[in-house]
Structure 1
Amino acid sequence: MNLLSLRYFVEVANTLNFTEASRNLHVSQPGISQQIYILEKQLGVKLLYRTTRSVELTEEGKYLLEKVAPPSFDQIENTVSNVMNTTQMPFLVKIATIPSAASLYLPKIMKNLHEQFSDIEFNIKETTSAHATELIKSREYHIGFIRTQDNFHSLNQMEVEHLELNRSPLVAVVSANHKLASQQKIHLKELKDDFFLHYDSDQSPALHDLLQTACEEAGFTPKTICSGSELLTISNLVSNNFVVTLMPMDMYQLIDSKRIICLGLEGNQLESSISAVWEESPYIRKNTKYMLEILSKLKSNL
């Protein structure tokens, strides 16, 4: 281990300013950057997030700084080993997820991770797809589960990586007392005179676009009377035969009510999927790597 690299890291971590660290160390900024890059390469983790305006410590960077300042050489050696071996670090996985993914996938994923790492802890935040993506981009959470569109164009623009887990067909959801409730399949146009519960375009863009596209392809604009994404609210509004809506089958299967039913859509091939998302970076946190490895193995069974 190059202790010079470690010294440079500590100075930058304490000042959070490459210019000030350069002045204090009497070393050029490129020289400091190179040494920290070498240190990150040796450890296999990213220690600093650097932009043109600011420098931030990663979780691993905070851990390393806490343990090596002020250090003894034995402490430094032990701490460096711990950084390289994630199982000896505080092992917390922070997950931002839409409710349907939390119900469908997280129990199996978390159980699998816990069997490998008995000390693992989870911090789970249920939220919208849009918010989950923002939490990943801001590095507040390690991995997210969101509802995704077919072409993933918007995700690519947001500079996050993704892994699609499973696709689910679009179905119509109506009250058990609806005039079409006795049918197994319908043409979507048969609902053109009904009031629709839509989805918010900012908070649930994939579901919003899915419903909008389906109705447009069926030759009509949905008569939207309200919008929302909470399953309990949707279930209550639909069950009272006040509105109808469209949703992926995997989402419908989470509704525990005999007062609503789903109807297949003739001639409609639209599907939705749930995807895992994480920060686009050459350095992926090791706890995130473990989860992605498990997701890849479980994907065929999800």
Structure 2
Amino acid sequence: MNVNHLRYFVRLAALQNYTQAAKSLHITQPTLTSAIHTLEKELNTQFFYKTGRNVKLTLNGELFAQKVTQSLTILDAGIASLYPNNTHQDQITLVTIPALNAVWLPKMISEFKNTSAGKNVAFSFISDTTLSLNLLNNLRDNQYDICFASKINGYPDINFTPIAQEELVVITPLGHPLSTATSLTIEDLLPYDQVSYSKRSGLAPIIASLYQEYGWQPKSKYQVDDDLAVAGLVANNLGVAIVPKRLALATQKLCIVPLVTNGPRRLIYLCTSKRHTLNTAANAFIQFISEKEIAILQ
């Protein structure tokens, strides 16, 4: 089994896009595709399936990605220990929700590695559940140095630094009474069934806060964790939903209507554990990100 193929696999698992992964690895997309197919053939299983222009991990892919990432981290540490007097790469282990992994985070890593502090730094991407709740719990357990997630109450032992925000929009089924509106307010949504995020999602408290001034909660028949599940339920005429604008572009079987509100956008945070001592490289990367203006995700 080719170690480089395993590294390619971990990078694709993190970025979930062949073009972005190949670019970040400085290889061609056909080379990456061939490596993944070879790996799948060797192990007689499928690791990815297509979702539009991106890919997602299968269950076997998720399990394998976790083990491979851990194994590569151990391997790199073992190699570095053989040459204690040589310059070696410091390691930063991180995980992110999908909103950042296609454009913003790879761009930040590339810019950081062009600085003197980032020149000899290696990044290890953990493929994990995309629920902010689980990411924060795993951060508490020191499974990675940094995670990018929504802020959830009840984590006084975690540092939250806002680094990006997403616009929220309304998605409706085709032909829905609200589908032809040029814009919508929260009040416009009150009479209609809605699909909402479960309490496990970092989006749930953000969207709930939009309704608070009306003293009302949405008429939600379905509460799900996954972004694409929300879009799928709406596309099949099971309600309307408030979602990040990024997600609304994932399917053409929806109408996307701007949401007019004075409430918050969805903020995404750089999260670190107060109980976990970070290496010099991780602290330098955090400082680098913290000095950036808050990104507006499109």
Q: Shared fold (TM-score greater than 0.5)?
A: yes
Aligned length: 217
- Equivalent residue number for residue 146 of structure 2: 143
**Cα deviation code 1:154-183 (max 9, x no counterpart):** 44x2x1112101233433222232211111
1:299, 1:124 → 2: CA distance? 26
Report the CA distance between 1:300 and its aligned residue.
4.9
- Equivalent residue number for residue 210 of structure 1: 206
User: Is contact 1:92–1:123 with CA below 8 Å preserved after alignment?
Assistant: no
Q: Are 1:231 and 2:227 matched, yes or no?
A: yes
Q: Are 1:299 and 2:297 matched, yes or no?
A: no
Q: Are 1:284 and 2:278 matched, yes or no?
A: yes
Percent of aligned pairs sharing the same letter: 17
Q: Are 1:131 and 2:127 matched, yes or no?
A: no
- Equivalent residue number for residue 244 of structure 2: 248
User: Is contact 2:94–2:123 with CA below 8 Å preserved after alignment?
Assistant: no
| SS of 1:247 mapped into structure 2 | strand
Query: What RMSD over aligned residues (CA atoms) do the two structures have, in Å?
Result: 3.1
Cα gap change, 1:147 to 1:119, in 2 (>3 Å): closer
2:261, 2:219 → 1: CA distance? 21
Report the CA distance between 1:237 and its aligned residue.
1.6
Cα gap change, 1:300 to 1:227, in 2 (>3 Å): closer
2:146 maps to amino acid:
I
Please list, as runs of the form range in 1=range in 2, the aligned pairs for 1:65-214 lying within 5 A after superposition.
79=84, 88-89=88-89, 91-115=90-114, 116-117=118-119, 120-126=122-128, 127-148=130-151, 154-155=154-155, 157=156, 159-201=157-199, 203-204=200-201, 206-214=202-210
- Equivalent residue number for residue 31 of structure 1: none
1:297, 1:190 → 2: CA distance? 39
Where has structure 1 moved over 6 Å in runs of 4 or more?
none
User: Is contact 1:95–1:125 with CA below 8 Å preserved after alignment?
Assistant: no
User: Is contact 1:96–1:135 with CA below 8 Å preserved after alignment?
Assistant: no
Cα gap change, 1:176 to 1:244, in 2 (>3 Å): same
Report the CA distance between 1:226 and its aligned residue.
1.6
- TM-score, with structure 1 as normaliser: 0.61
Unaligned runs of 5+ in 2: 1-72
**Cα deviation code 1:82-134 (max 9, x no counterpart):** 7xxxx625x33221221223235222123234444367242232421111111
Report the CA distance between 1:258 and its aligned residue.
2.7
Cα gap change, 1:270 to 1:300, in 2 (>3 Å): closer
1:247, 1:296 → 2: CA distance? 26
Cα gap change, 1:228 to 1:103, in 2 (>3 Å): farther
Cα gap change, 1:160 to 1:214, in 2 (>3 Å): same
1:120 maps to amino acid:
A
- Decide which moves more: 286-295 or 263-272: 263-272
Cα gap change, 1:299 to 1:244, in 2 (>3 Å): same
2:208, 2:286 → 1: CA distance? 32
Cα gap change, 1:282 to 1:227, in 2 (>3 Å): closer
- Equivalent residue number for residue 40 of structure 1: none
User: Is contact 1:92–1:121 with CA below 8 Å preserved after alignment?
Assistant: yes
2:205, 2:277 → 1: CA distance? 33
User: Is contact 1:177–1:241 with CA below 8 Å preserved after alignment?
Assistant: no
2:280, 2:180 → 1: CA distance? 52
1:229 maps to amino acid:
D
1:292 maps to amino acid:
I
Cα gap change, 1:198 to 1:295, in 2 (>3 Å): same
